[in-house]
Structure 1
Amino acid sequence: MEKAIYISDDFINENTHFPALLAALKEGFSSPDILVPQRHHHDFPNPETGSDSTLLLMPAWHPAKIAGVKIATVSPENGRYDLPSIQAIYVLINAITGTMIATMQAKSLTAKRTAAASALASSFLSRKDASSLLMIGTGALSANLIRAHASVRPIKEVFVWGRNAEKAKAICSELKEENFSCTAIMQIDDKIGDMDIISCATLSKTPLVLGKYLKPGQHIDLVGAYKKDMREADDAVIQKASVYVDTPAGLHESGDTSIPLHSGILTEDTIKGNLFTLCSGEVSGRKSEKEVTVFKSVGHALEDLMAANYYYNQFTNE
């Protein structure tokens, strides 16, 4: 019987090569054999904080190969406890025998695979010469998103904004050895129109990226706002852009897409593609240098499975 190994966040942080992780995700999204049922999404009251928490169960199977499930909670008020809002664990399974072959902390797994998915989308949707990036948000995802985007585009300038200016400065300090400059800024409106790529990873309930500031050729990466009452981009962004999503199943989970769908500003027929159609070559992505593109991510169990298998192979040297 196989003995389950344990893979820590430290190992994941020290053994992430974004180009290789992107390749693993692209292989997964290109495969017709991976089975991913609808994830369980349960909100439950948290009277201690006055804000609901969310339990997510995200299974996926690659028949006769690997399977796995992520158990995650999202508690938006965890900042008051100096804890990340997302807590998670992943269980990797031998899909033939059903044996559990690995457990791993999934905080870093989630951050890495989410950043890799955004960069994978950017490889199809941002301009190839994109050299500037605005990062909105200062959570665990931010530095990962910056590094992932820089792995697919020649990023030279990065600007970071968050409601806590000290956190923005800390991210820039963390990235000081990278091959791009990183500057913490106090406000974003005058920067939005100057950036080639705008990545947003927040729990905001009001739009932060406003369409009136956008310029032709930009790419907008919307990663946060995981609930229907949360939103990072306004209607004007959606109206100006060609909209892509990570998966069709997530269309109604986030306010960034569910609110425009409900109002009729966006329809499912006008969604240009998703990571499955982009990676398989069914759709080509960006059509022109002046096109504005939006990628909305809500996360997908396929990303977790492929990332967990990537780190398992790293750990076992397979």
Structure 2
Amino acid sequence: MDILWLNQSDVKSVLDMPSAMLAAESGFREHGLRKVQMPPKSYLYFERHNGDLRTMPSFMEDQDIAGVKIVNVHPDNREKGLPTVMAVVVLNSTETGAPLAIMDGTYLTDMRTGAAGGVAAKYLARSDSNIVGMVGTGDQARTQLLALSQSMDIEQVRITCRNLSNCASFEKEMAPVVNCDFVRTGSIKEVCKCDILVTTTPVRSPIVKSEWIREGTHINAIGADATGKQEIGSSLLKRAKVVVDDIIQASHSGEVNVPISSGVFSQADIHAELGEVIAGIKPGRENDEEITVFDSTGLAVQDLVTANMVYHKALTAGIGKKMRLF
């Protein structure tokens, strides 16, 4: 049988942010309705190489699609001329189990994670939000901002990162896309003076303090995706309405994992999963004074629903290369 091979150029040609957000929202909704099978992602840790490898299988029952993503996170890769995150997604037939497609998952991961932030802001941010603050300006920051530009009219973006020259590069790339004012600063405190704060760093000690965050702020906490990582102070999480993508996964590898393990926060303090909010099972933002936090760990179902969309678009457009495995 033939398998469709899609390289990164193929995926980029059919995957844009509006379609990624539609896919993400549908995937989260099905997850909230408990119509997916999705065990927590499993990790292999390569301590001598400062990296890890993760496998993320899932099955969406109503759409009858299944697959798995294999993805790494190696922070030192940039010194080797490689992306920090690289991934491959395999789609499988639920009828036979045979692989249908193998595709680049690196760009797909960036887009689906950015899309999740845009969808979260749609349900959790104030409707009059127009100032975005960004801590971190890497690849993920770019897709986060791109998705937010689909959800709101952005007037100003405040940015900070460890190397201010990277802030300048970020502004040069994103200003034509978002078409708003950019403010660069070396102060995280100044960046926190915003309506929507996005954190995309790999830190293991909190860098956002509770006293810096005003009432009514929404935070997309993206960086914490493994045990021991934390960007936001635990006291801030206690002040906020916390929404996670998946309670079990977030508890061991999301923004809440360190506060939970230290006993200052618990699963009972989590308000909802994003899918429950989208499906109307639990409320999202209920007033303009609430501080809301979306703890994004990245779900296999996000990869699956996005990859399935890419697969069908590629078939329709005649994109990709058919290869015989057996």
The answer to whether structure 1 residue 100 and structure 2 residue 99 are counterparts is yes
Moved over 6 A (4+): none
Could you tell me how far apart the structure 2 residues matched to 1:160 and 1:310 are?
Answer: 32
What does residue 88 of structure 1 align with? 87
Q: Which residue of 1 is the match for residue 297 of structure 2?
A: 298
Q: Matched residue of 1:199: which SS?
A: strand
CA contact (8 A) 2:132 2:195 kept: yes
Letter in 1 for 2:251: H
CA-based RMSD of the aligned residues comes to 1.9
Is residue 312 from structure 1 mapped to residue 311 from structure 2 by the alignment?
A: yes
Deviations 1:128-182 (A, max 9, x none): 1111111211222111000001111121211222112222221211123224325
Q: Give ranges in structure 1 of 5+ residues lacking alignment.
A: none
Match of 1:279 in 2: 278
Q: Which structure 2 residue ranges, 5 or more long, are not aligned?
A: 318-326
> Could you tell me how far 1:317 is from its partner in structure 2?
2.5
- Once the two structures are superposed, residues 84-137 of structure 1 have per-residue CA deviations (whole angstroms, 9 ceiling, x without a partner) of 211111111122122212111111111111111111111111011111111211
- 1: CA distance, partners of 2:9 / 2:128: 33
Q: Secondary structure at the match of 2:5?
A: strand
Distance, in Å, in 2 between the alignment partners of 1:123 and 1:255 is: 21
CA 1:259–1:166 in 2, change beyond 3 Å: closer, same or farther? same
The letter of the residue matching 2:52 is T
The equivalent of 2:45 in structure 1 is: 43
CA deviations over 1:27-51 (Å, ceiling 9, x no partner): 22222432112221121232xx5x3
Which residue of structure 2 lines up, in the alignment, with residue 55 of structure 1? 53
Q: Matched residue of 2:121: which SS?
A: helix
Matches within 5 A, 1:49-198: 49=49, 51=50, 53-63=51-61, 65-183=64-182, 185-198=184-197
Identity of aligned residues (%): 27
Q: Residue 134 of structure 2 contacts residue 191 of structure 2 at CA under 8 Å; is this kept in 1?
A: no
Whether contact under 8 Å (1:175, 1:182) holds in the other structure is no
Q: RCO higher in 1 or 2 (8 Å CA, sep ≥ 6)?
A: 2
Separation of aligned partners in 2, 1:12 and 1:126? 30
Tell me the secondary structure at the aligned position of residue 146 of structure 2: helix
In 2, the alpha carbon distance for the partners of 1:177 and 1:57 equals 36
Counterpart in the other structure of 1:215:
214
Taking the aligned partners of 2:79 and 2:86, their CA distance within structure 1 comes to: 15
Aligned residue number for residue 28 of structure 1: 27
| Paired letter, 1:30 | R
Query: How many correspondences in the alignment?
Result: 313
Distance 1:268 1:135 in 2: 27
Question: For 2:95, what is the secondary structure of its paired residue?
Answer: coil
CA contact (8 A) 2:136 2:199 kept: yes
Quote the Cα distance in structure 1 between the aligned partners of 2:224 and 2:308. 27
- The 1:184–1:204 alpha-carbon spacing in structure 2 relative to 1, beyond 3 Å, is farther
**Larger displacement relative to structure 2 (306-315 or 77-86):** 77-86
Whole-Å separation in 1 of the counterparts to 2:285 and 2:118? 14
Q: Are the aligned partners of 2:68 and 2:91 in contact in 1 as well (CA < 8 Å)?
A: yes
Equivalent AA in structure 2 for residue 40 of structure 1: S
CA contact (8 A) 2:241 2:291 kept: yes
How many angstroms does 1:184 deviate by?
Answer: 5.6
Confirm or deny: 8 A CA contact 2:72 2:87 kept in the other structure: yes
Write the letter of the residue equivalent to 1:36: M
Instruction: Letter of the 1:17 partner, please give it.
Output: D
Aligned partners of 1:273 and 1:153: how far apart in 2?
A: 23
SS at match of 2:313: helix
Cα drift, residue 255 of structure 1: 6.3
Structure number with the higher helix fraction is 2
Displacement of 1:257 in angstroms is 0.8
CA, structure 1 residues 36+82, in 2 after alignment: closer, same or farther (shift >3 Å)?
same
Contact persistence 1:124–1:284 (CA under 8 A)? no
Contact 2:156 2:183 in 1 (8 A): no
